[in-house]
């Protein structure tokens, strides 16, 4: 597992971590290089403001995007080795899969928030706080963009 997730030289693993790092810079939160602790312990990550207050939305975002990246690395490796008989993906394919994965997760959270019921449900305001730092043109979105299925949103691509 360590080889597949952190050390493999095949096209994909390093690129996905690089794309995640670029995406993460949009949050103004500290970047920690991927290791078993930062990835498998993603749900335990603590991010604080300069004043020492916890940034719970950023903590949730880290948990989501880092585990999605980890899962994508694993899926691509399995596809490459089992399905494609070792044929490597192109960098463009990997980049597109990365952003597709992140956008799919954003869509899932939006759909879940639309149906939110009960105390433990993910409310639209929480979804907005979590995802807004990395959404393309996030400041220009209309009110209630989380629950309005007519509003198209997507993850901001790095430059």
Of 83, 95, 81, give the one whose Cα is nearest residue 14: 95
Rg, Å, the chain Cα set: 16
Q: What is the pLDDT along the chain (159 residues), one digit of tens a residue?
A: 777 788 888 888 999 999 999 999 999 999 999 998 998 899 999 999 999 999 999 999 999 999 999 999 999 999 999 998 889 999 999 999 999 999 999 999 999 898 877 777 788 999 999 999 999 988 899 988 998 888 888 888 865
pTM of model > 0.75: yes
Q: Domain residue spans in the chain?
A: 2-140
Helix axes 56-78, 124-131, angle to 10 degrees: 70
């Amino acid at each position: 597992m360590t080889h597949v997730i952190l050390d493999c030289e095949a096209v994909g693993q390093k690129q996905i971590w690089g794309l995640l790092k670029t995406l993460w810079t949009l949050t103004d939160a500290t970047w920690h290089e991927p290791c078993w602790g930062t990835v498998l312990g993603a749900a335990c990550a603590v991010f604080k403001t300069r004043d020492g207050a916890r940034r719970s939305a950023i903590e949730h975002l880290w948990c989501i995007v880092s585990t999605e990246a980890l899962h994508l690395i694993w899926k691509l490796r399995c596809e490459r080795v089992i399905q494609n008989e070792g044929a490597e993906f192109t960098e463009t394919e990997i980049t597109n899969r990365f952003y597709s994965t992140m956008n799919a997760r954003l869509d899932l959270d939006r759909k879940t928030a639309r149906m939110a019921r009960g105390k433990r449900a993910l409310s639209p305001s929480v979804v907005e706080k979590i995802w807004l730092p990395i959404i393309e043109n996030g400041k220009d979105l209309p009110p209630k963009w989380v629950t309005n299925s007519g509003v198209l949103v997507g993850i901001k691509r790095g430059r």
